[in-house]
Amino acid sequence: MMSPLSYLSRLFSPADAELIESEKCQRKEFYASFSEKRPKPWLALLILAFGLLFNILQLAGSAGASNNQQKDDWVQAHLLNAHARLPFSFVYGTQSSNVLLKDWVQNTESQTLDGDRSERSLTWKDPKTHLQVRLSAVTYPESPVVEWTIYFRNEGKEDTPILEEVQALDTSVPVPGKNIPTILYSTGAGGMDSYSLHRKSLNQLEDFRMSGDGGGKTVTTIPFFDVRMDGQGLIGAVGWSGEWAISFSRPTEAAVELKAGMQNTHLSLHPGEEIRTPSILLLRWEGDDIDAHNVLRRHVLKYHTPQYDGKPVVIPLSHGTWGGTKTSTSLRLIDEITQKNLGFENFWMDAGWYGADRPVAEFQVFGEEDWWLHAGNWRVNRVAHPDGLKPISDAAHAKGLKFLLWFEPERAVVGTPLTIEHPEWFIGELGTIVGGNLKRPFAKYRLFNFGDPTARKAMTDLMSDLITTQGVDIFRQDCNFAPAAFWAQADARDRQGITQIHYVEGLLEFWDELRRRHPQLILDLVERGDLDSISRGVDLSRADYPVAPEADPIGNQMATEGLAYWRPHFGTVFQIRPRDNYHFRSGFAPGTGFALFNTGGTPDQVGKFIPADFPFDWLRAEIAQYKRIRPYFYGDYYPISPCSANADCMGIPNGEQSAAFEWAAWQFHRPQQDDGMVQAFRRDRSDDSMKQLRLRALDAAAIYEIDNVDEGTPKTVSGAELMEQGLALEISEKPGAAIVFYRKVR
């Protein structure tokens, strides 16, 4: 459970905008320009190790059927070669897979999944115990990314020997020359430094570990990384909504040992039982590191972003309210925010709408909140909402708004109806002290078992019915506890990890089934940053920190800078500060949300709705700028002014080396339209009022129109000048923020 501060107001964010849909030829040009060089010797070794790491023949420049045939020949020679080292490992009956698989029966299959993907399956079967191991690898004809998942199935009639130390990724990455590898990664959804970038040098005999401890939210780190070595590297990602771990070690100067998988596996499989590992994504790159990350971003946008009507999800601009806000108040708020023509696109109702019929506060009042005491009792509180939530969703829909509703289906407080009626649907029991209610700080919880097919169907039916009857467009799933302790409670000594595996498999099926039943439903999976989760849902509040009334806007800036390296879709929320452009623009992201008042806080911070003197004209103008800027977040990303070597971007805000002394700036570029935008922030301790910001990816021979939204008259500048000398940008206010749009005019 997080501190009460972190639950301030759960605002929201989606929107509508143009989406980047690069033509096939443009994707080919981008990938080819990204890596045309002849591969170095260590790449050849890497290809053998990974089986399918890099579609190297595609990058040679040939096209059409000929290129596909060459790539198929290469896959046949390397991926389907029984003598190639495989990119995963396990121990079975105390023996290593490197030894066992050589003697097992092997089979290979290939199939085209659709026009953009092909699947290559390698299967091994133990002739003695009948354990089947299957590597399912997916390749993409226009992307150098490779992905895979490992499956284990007991096809025998008895329990298998112990399967343990399963690593979905296990390989050695050669280090050329005297290079010192650097691991680039981002933190998770923590405090002010949420998603900030970190760089870890890996010297000989050193090791480094990233992990998703506790399962659920990715709080410490997100499972994305880039192993960098002098103009080349390996980008990777893990998909697993449970406890994962990624480890890097350098036992010798010549290589980095890289492993990824679940944190703990020691289990026997029952007859007919099948399990899967975390999924793995790898992208080998050579050349420009930012170009490499844009290859990743384009891949994630196309293959790991929820799609609606054939296009990536557009995250709506949200107005947030607390779940205890009465129906009558909610209807008045919907009328007011739409009558003012502010441009909101979603009405967000957070926790507190459910449970026993009782009077509740209309704000999240720290120290007095009781929403967490009713988790698991998913019925509408008829005192706050006498006719349910349908009158609110109907009013929102009539005004052109979507309706978001908060849930936490994985957790139930002991004593709520479902825990009494179906105790067999739950796992474990743990007590904890919660700071949200000073009069009743202690509660006991149980974990709903999504690994149980009967329980999962019942929860799916319940949630699906609420989605239909209450008019829900966006299903917000929170997870305010660590489920790993419950999984461990349920495991037998010879089945360690099995509960988590089936739980994660079931949770993914739960999300998939909700989308099957409700094709237009947007899943908002709170702070779950793994590859499997972001493929199914968006995260409309990437971190809790910005919603604190006193939060430093630098937190939102660092989160955008860090997350944009890895993926194009995410959202943020914050408490509004009227007429503060620096604070408001710091919250611009692919999705954003806020309320026109404090929805949560201490008793002296809440209690009032929209003030009479609220500056609606200011907000209307800023929202217009946000909607103009939003489509560009799905373009290519270029950090222009990240924190310098002299600044500790994660330090104390007023410290000597704080990020407050820096500028922050980035560029999002749409190659298809040859236009883009620049965001820049002069922070409150910076004495520099002007910067030359060198742009990327422009046509040097072209002329671009430059539109600084705070200056008025656009001007024209050559692409060569913008890239070589830079965009001259002045921000006179300290702190201050600027937005500049550019487009090719000739």
DSSP 666-684: EEEEETTTTEEEEEEEE-T
Q: Is the peptide bond before 735 cis (omega within 30 degrees of 0)?
A: yes
CA distance 69 to 315: 40
Does residue 62 carry a pLDDT above 60?
no
Confidence (pLDDT) at 560: 96
Residue in this structure with the two tokens 């009539």, named with its chain if needed: 398
**458 in Cβ contact with 425 (< 8 Å):** yes
CA distance 595 to 322: 10
Mean pLDDT, residues 690-699 = 97
Q: Cα separations (Å) of 286 from 37, 54, 73, 291, 711?
A: 8, 11, 23, 9, 40
| Residues of the chain above pLDDT 90, percent | 77
CA distance 281 to 277: 13
Mean pLDDT, residues 379-397 = 98
Determine which helix (DSSP H) or strand (DSSP E) holds 135, and give its type and residue range.
strand 131-140
Mean pLDDT, residues 85-112 = 94
CATH 2.60.40.1180 residue window(s) in the chain: 640-744
Q: Report which of 596, 629, 20, 634 is spatially closest to residue 318, judged by C-alpha positions.
A: 596
| Residue 277 in tokens | 């590992």
Confidence (pLDDT) at 81: 60
Name the region of 527 (left: φ>0; alpha: ψ -120 to 50; beta: rest). Answer: left
- pLDDT (tens digit per residue) in 275-329: 999 999 999 999 999 999 999 999 999 999 999 999 999 999 999 999 999 999 9
CA distance 364 to 362: 7
Q: Report which of 306, 472, 318 is spatially closest to residue 10, judged by C-alpha positions.
A: 318
In CATH, what class is 4-20+308-632? alpha beta
The alpha carbon of residue 564 and the mean position of all alpha carbons in its chain are separated, in whole angstroms, by 10
| Residue 515 in tokens | 């989308």
CATH 2.70.98.60 residue window(s) in the chain: 35-303
Residue in this structure with the two tokens 């290809």, named with its chain if needed: 47
Q: How confident is the prediction for the chain on average, in pLDDT?
A: 87
CA distance 410 to 482: 10
Confidence (pLDDT) at 640: 94
Confidence (pLDDT) at 73: 44
Does residue 525 carry a pLDDT above 50?
yes
Q: Look up the CATH superfamily of 35-303.
A: alpha-galactosidase from lactobacil brevis (2.70.98.60)
Nearest 5°: phi and psi at 546? -65, -15
Confidence (pLDDT) at 83: 66
Confidence (pLDDT) at 404: 98
Q: What angle do CA 139, 144, 145 make, to 5 degrees?
A: 60
**90 in Cβ contact with 167 (< 8 Å):** yes
Helix and strand counts by DSSP (H, E) for the chain? 16, 41
CA distance 411 to 549: 28
DSSP 40: P
User: What is the DSSP secondary-structure string of 305-347?
Assistant: S-EETTEE--PPPEEEE-TTS-HHHHHHHHHHHHHTT----EE
- pLDDT (tens digit per residue) in 140-151: 988 899 999 999
- pTM of this structure: 0.90
Q: Cα separations (Å) of 67 from 32, 55, 438?
A: 13, 10, 67
CATH 3.20.20.70 residue window(s) in the chain: 4-20+308-632
CA distance 9 to 322: 7
Give the strands of the sheet with 571-573, arranged side by side: 522-525, 474-477, 402-407, 346-349, 318-321, 591-594, 571-573
Does residue 54 carry a pLDDT above 60?
no
Q: Report which of 206, 210, 146 is spatially closest to residue 181, judged by C-alpha positions.
A: 206
CA distance 314 to 308: 9
| Residue 568 in tokens | 């194009």
Map residue 635 onto helix, strand or coil: coil
Confidence (pLDDT) at 39: 33
Nearest 5°: phi and psi at 716? -115, 140
**162 in Cβ contact with 92 (< 8 Å):** yes
Map residue 540 onto helix, strand or coil: coil
Residue in this structure with the two tokens 């990240």, named with its chain if needed: 642
For the chain, report the end-to-end CA distance as a whole number of angstroms.
56
Partnered with residue 267 across adjacent β-strands are 163, 495
Determine which helix (DSSP H) or strand (DSSP E) holds 443, and give its type and residue range.
strand 442-448
Q: Report which of 160, 155, 159 is spatially closest to residue 123, judged by C-alpha positions.
A: 155
| Residue 205 in tokens | 């005999």
Q: Cα separations (Å) of 519 from 119, 475, 512, 528, 703?
A: 25, 12, 10, 21, 44
CA dihedral of 179, 180, 185, 191, whole degrees rounded to 10: -150
Which residues are CB-contacts of 239 (< 8 A; sequence separation ≥ 6)? 223, 278, 279, 280, 281, 530, 531, 532, 533, 535
Q: Report which of 588, 575, 583, 580 is spatially closest to residue 549, judged by C-alpha positions.
A: 575
- DSSP E strand stretches across 588-674: 591-594, 600-601, 636-639, 663-670
**80 in Cβ contact with 108 (< 8 Å):** yes
What CATH code would you report for 640-744? 2.60.40.1180
CA distance 73 to 111: 15
CA distance 471 to 592: 22
Q: Longest Cα pair distance anywhere in the chain, in angstroms?
A: 78
- pLDDT (tens digit per residue) in 324-378: 999 999 999 999 999 999 999 999 999 999 999 999 999 888 888 889 899 999 9
Confidence (pLDDT) at 36: 36
| Residue 133 in tokens | 């191991």
Residue in this structure with the two tokens 């008259």, named with its chain if needed: 713
Q: Which of 59-73, 186-200, 450-464, 479-493 has the lowest mean pLDDT?
A: 59-73
Q: Cα separations (Å) of 531 from 115, 236, 259, 428, 614?
A: 22, 10, 17, 28, 41
CA distance 265 to 163: 7
